[in-house]
Amino acid sequence: MTSDEKYRKVAAFIDQARRVVAFSGAGISTESGIPDFRSPGGVWSRYDPQDFLYQNFLASHEARIKYWRMSEEFLGAILQAEPNAAHHALVEIERLGKLDCVITQNVDGLHQRAGTSREKVIELHGTVHTVSCQECGARTSRGEVSERIRGGVAVPYCDLCSGPLKPDTISFGQAMPEQETREALERSRACDLFLVIGSSLVVHPAARMPVEAAMNNAKLVIINLSDTPHDHFTTVLLREPAGKAMQGILSAYRQILAG
């Protein structure tokens, strides 16, 4: 089957669907210029992931210094990035009334910046754009905390209780957010079309979502440049960049709507 034939097939699935769930991973963000943590030249090729265990962050001021240095470096790439064609395609699918939600492993907020409704984005691994105290839970904006760091503060602490501040991203060893994980599972099980966009599906429990959808009779479409452990569940498999594939699918869907 050619790419164009696959685009038309997925477009037909969207047309027939009542609930489309999109699941996005690092592959959608790399097309906006945000490095994949695991890719050559990514963060984990320059830092040891074991240094960033959540338990170490809580226990050691030195670990917090290292964490904030890495986190600010990563934030710089995010702030320079712009939503790409795949993000914008999902916005149009929402506008056309088909998108139930976007479940994302990404922490960059690009779906919201593209125009996807905030209430439709489930951030499984949190967000870089807010910061919380690990003791009292007080939340503040990332911009305010980053300004402190640029002013020479190596580790920011809470103004209310002096507890350590940490970006609202999920670190190694940190529990997944219960509400978001539960909602993502429920949406995955209830959808009739599940689109994986740019995820290698190796990080759990997030990687379980497409399996849950397929086991509950949803059509499963995987758009990813490399193999995933769940390719055998797919109805349509596209080994293409996220932006190219989503634009092709959207173009084919517009043709269906035009009659």
Query: pLDDT tens digits, residue range 14-29?
Result: 999 999 999 999 999 9
Could you give all domains of the chain from N- to C-terminal order, each with its CATH number? 1-33+82-125+175-259 (3.40.50.1220), 35-80+126-169 (3.30.1600.10)
CA distance 130 to 150: 17
Are the CB atoms for 152 and 163 separated by under 8 Å? no
Distance, CA of 26 to CA of 122 (rounded, Å): 15
Task: Give the pLDDT mean for 72-100.
Answer: 95
**Whole-number pLDDT of residue 191:** 98
User: If you average pLDDT over residues 214-242, what whole number do you get?
Assistant: 97
pLDDT at 41 over 90: no
Q: DSSP assignment, residue 197?
A: E
Backbone angles phi, psi at 99, to 5 degrees: -85, 120
Scanning 17-166, the segments in alpha helix (DSSP H) are 26-30, 54-59, 61-80, 85-95, 110-114, 142-150
Tokens 């501040």, residue located: 165
**pLDDT value at residue 72:** 93
Q: With CA atoms as reference, report the closest residue to 211 among 201, 224, 198.
A: 201
Residue 2 identity (one-letter amino acid): T
pLDDT, the chain, mean: 93
- Could you tell me whether strands 126-133 and 165-169 are parallel, antiparallel, or unpaired per DSSP bridges? antiparallel
User: Would the pLDDT of 45 be above 70?
Assistant: no
Closest CA to 109 of 134, 93, 130: 130
pLDDT at 177 over 80: yes
The mean per-residue pLDDT over the stretch 51-80 comes to 91
- Quick count: other Cβ atoms within 10 Å of Cβ 256? 13
What is the per-residue pLDDT for 50?
A: 72
Q: Could you give the C-alpha distances from 21 to 68, 108, 131, 193, 212, in angstroms and in order?
A: 34, 19, 28, 6, 12
Over residues 115-158, the pLDDT tens digits come to 999 999 999 999 999 999 999 999 999 999 999 999 999 999 99
Catalytic site residues?
Answer: 125
**pLDDT value at residue 52:** 81
The single residue listed with the structure tokens 């890495």 is: 70
Q: Output the pLDDT for position 42.
A: 55
Strand order in the sheet with 20-24: 121-123, 99-104, 20-24, 193-197, 219-223, 236-238
Confidence of residue 38 (pLDDT cuts 50, 70, 90): low
Checking if the pLDDT of 254 tops 80, the result is yes
Q: Is the pLDDT of residue 39 over 60?
A: no
The distance in angstroms from the start CA to the end CA of the chain is 23
Interval 221-247 mean pLDDT: 97
Asked if residue 120 lies in contact with residue 102, where contact means CB atoms within 8 angstroms, the answer is yes
Q: How far apart are CA 30 and CA 40, in angstroms?
A: 12
pLDDT band at 230 (very low <50, low <70, confident <90, very high): very high
pLDDT of residue 3 exceeding 60, the answer is yes
